[in-house]
Structure 1
């Protein structure tokens, strides 16, 4: 990176001539970032964002003070949908940062692809192609397509995806580094892979539909997290389940008033075809529960309600297992990935009633009504162990930005990868 701009850290405020709040000032070989120690990560990320807007392509982090977290905050601000590299890492943390960059750049690039490029089958294949080279002797997979889903009882993925000419798929990828075919599955990651979400017959307005290529962000996040955990030395058997479909309108699309009967006998009336994410995740959670894995983590760009509650700064975390949830929040703090708990209790299962089925998939009102994120989590809790032990649900409110902000370029952020990888590593290492 001989042509790279050097960037230094400076804890002292900028000289008055640059303005009282200047966070970025020029020096002989590049720029220095004046960061506020009380909110260092945000101020460094904001300054990096400014450097990107100047059109700078390559930087070298120089001088003292560049901790792993500071370097990573810079990367997140400096990179964009058009530029997912360009940072030269510094010090002993370089190898770890390269691992993070590899997984985040893959996940973000995938999420930013156009809906035409990324069909359900392509999404599944991209995950296979990313993960298999990381541990070629330890990874196998199965892809269940189209009508095979219906014949095997995966009614949620099939029902949501049948309106598209491009078939829905369920990817089951098995990472088994033990070499033992009968090794227990210690964890299952489940990701929502809606490669485009029109809303179906509950059609979205254009301003909401325009960025619905991001609705497979949960699948990209859990696949990226598994990749990161593998690179960091994961030694336990873990499976990945991606629930992939396009939610489109056609003569074959599922309709309001339809009832789906899941493999566990739960009947679900469709009151909102735009509440499709929970329908496909239900299949993935049922599969995960069937494995007997003591840890199940799902991730999804599931509800606008989580974004209303938390903005774009935090991902929401739900669980009926309060001890596990508290540990997960601790892991999130360790890796500096903002995560916030939202309410979930057993009675949330009853918040979407139906006179015709065990439950509806939503309530027949805008956004699913009040408490929408908790109600969606309550719906999902029907498809894991009755007490919810060992289950975490991430509603990825901060996984994607539809426009540029002071912290982020427009597009996927990758937020969620580090914390899920950390939960995976820490919890499975206890067994």
Structure 2
């Protein structure tokens, strides 16, 4: 294994002044001096991965928990697992690193998998297996598949997924460490699990469709976050809802002009079949609200507008509860997974009007102002915000379509530690 050490001093010598990496007989030295050391350390991992390095040992002084995690993020590749030996640090931090690594590797596996491999039922199976491995006997689950969704009133997931030959699924996972069947639910997680998104009849161009295996990033993120929180000792009951479907085109696909009537009585006119994520999340949010949990968090790769607003280094946060919004932003800083609040008020709900229903799921033409905020406002119709604190996370940072100086192409895992911290906080 290649030996990797750290230096806070600027490099001068044969590798060039201020070089990030310097090689010697003992291995590689990362010179991380500068204003953003974690970013430089991650860049170093990315450079080594680009050179074909896949087995390393972190040694010497200076390897804090945060620095080791930054290096791992840079070294990770969608083409195969890397071998990484952590530096000797506090035993509790080492346990935390291993737990976070386990969750991140699972997330990368399921998001980076091809849509042929990772279809709705497979995603549900993978989530149950992953959480059962960590939570053991405290995990139970229910999986509603295909037309059984319609029988139980889950019209959003069914409508979006019914055109695929691989049926839609709504998965409920109950983590209950209390041992009491009637224990109150402390929090609910809801994840968008669109395993492939063609856009439906509002079809995407090929360039916009190529990376749409990542559209189940919300489901993967909340699942990995729950697993990471359990590994850290989560002792309260949490329910997880994954809303899984393939958004495809067929003779029985849902269409523009259709009107869906949800279990909570809200009617929705379909003006854009490519605004499907909010339709499936609505079912999950209704189910979460029925538990009367004091905290509900949903996560989704929901809008391009969020990416336009915050870029791909931040996730976007929305809530009607300003105290929750502040807490969420503070925790994102604490775990080094940047997130930033965007506007959301009840009057945003009126910005998706319909002549025929309570609301529309989008606009008749793509674009328009405040697209991320209006999407969040749509979701707010399906949560009792007087009963529960609700946070919506638009995962602008969870996936890279192409590599950059810090990340390989594919899943990043940004959002996992943040949501886990919210569960534990």
Q: Residue 189 of structure 2 aligns to a residue in which SS?
A: strand
Which residue in the other structure is 2:129 paired with? Answer: 129
Residue 418 of structure 1 pairs with residue 417 of structure 2: yes
C-alpha distance in 1, partners of 2:31/2:388?
Answer: 45
> Out of 1, 5, 13, which is 2:2 matched to?
5
What does residue range 45-124 of structure 1 map to in structure 2 within 5 Å?
Answer: 45-90=42-87, 91-92=89-90, 93-124=93-124
What does residue range 273-288 of structure 1 map to in structure 2 within 5 Å?
Answer: 273-288=273-288
Over residues 160-193 of structure 1, what are the superposed CA-to-partner deviations in whole Å (9 max), with x where a residue is unaligned?
0011111101000000000000000110000000
C-alpha distance in 1, partners of 2:167/2:422?
Answer: 33
> Out of 23, 31, 34, which is 1:34 matched to?
31
Worse-matched range after superposition: 128-137 or 103-112:
128-137
C-alpha distance in 2, partners of 1:325/1:297?
Answer: 11
Gaps of 5+ in 2: none
The two structures, once aligned, show a CA RMSD in angstroms of 1.0
Give, in angstroms, the shift of residue 21 of structure 1: 3.9
When residues 119 and 286 of structure 1 are mapped into structure 2, their CA distance, relative to the original with a 3 A threshold, is: same
Worse-matched range after superposition: 279-288 or 37-46:
37-46
Moved runs in structure 1, 4+ residues, more than 2 A? Answer: 16-21, 386-389
C-alpha distance in 2, partners of 1:409/1:309?
Answer: 22
TM-score (norm 1): 0.96
C-alpha distance in 2, partners of 1:314/1:16?
Answer: 36
Over residues 235-292 of structure 1, what are the superposed CA-to-partner deviations in whole Å (9 max), with x where a residue is unaligned?
0000000000000000010000000001111110000000000000000000000000
Worse-matched range after superposition: 19-28 or 72-81:
19-28
Which residue in the other structure is 1:429 paired with? Answer: none
Give, in angstroms, the shift of residue 37 of structure 1: 4.3
Which residue in the other structure is 2:355 paired with? Answer: 355
Matched-pair contact (CA < 8 Å) for 2:296–2:388:
no
Give, in angstroms, the shift of residue 88 of structure 1: 0.7
Aligned residues: 422
Give, in angstroms, the shift of residue 407 of structure 1: 0.7
C-alpha distance in 2, partners of 1:241/1:85?
Answer: 31
Matched-pair contact (CA < 8 Å) for 1:381–1:388:
no
Gaps of 5+ in 1: 427-431
Over residues 271-323 of structure 1, what are the superposed CA-to-partner deviations in whole Å (9 max), with x where a residue is unaligned?
00000000000000000000000000000000011111111100001100110
C-alpha distance in 2, partners of 1:365/1:17?
Answer: 57
C-alpha distance in 2, partners of 1:316/1:149?
Answer: 30
TM-score (norm 2): 0.98
Matched-pair contact (CA < 8 Å) for 1:321–1:389:
no
What does residue range 198-237 of structure 1 map to in structure 2 within 5 Å?
Answer: 198-237=198-237
Give, in angstroms, the shift of residue 19 of structure 1: 2.6
Worse-matched range after superposition: 16-25 or 180-189:
16-25
Give, in angstroms, the shift of residue 337 of structure 1: 0.6
C-alpha distance in 1, partners of 2:248/2:19?
Answer: 48
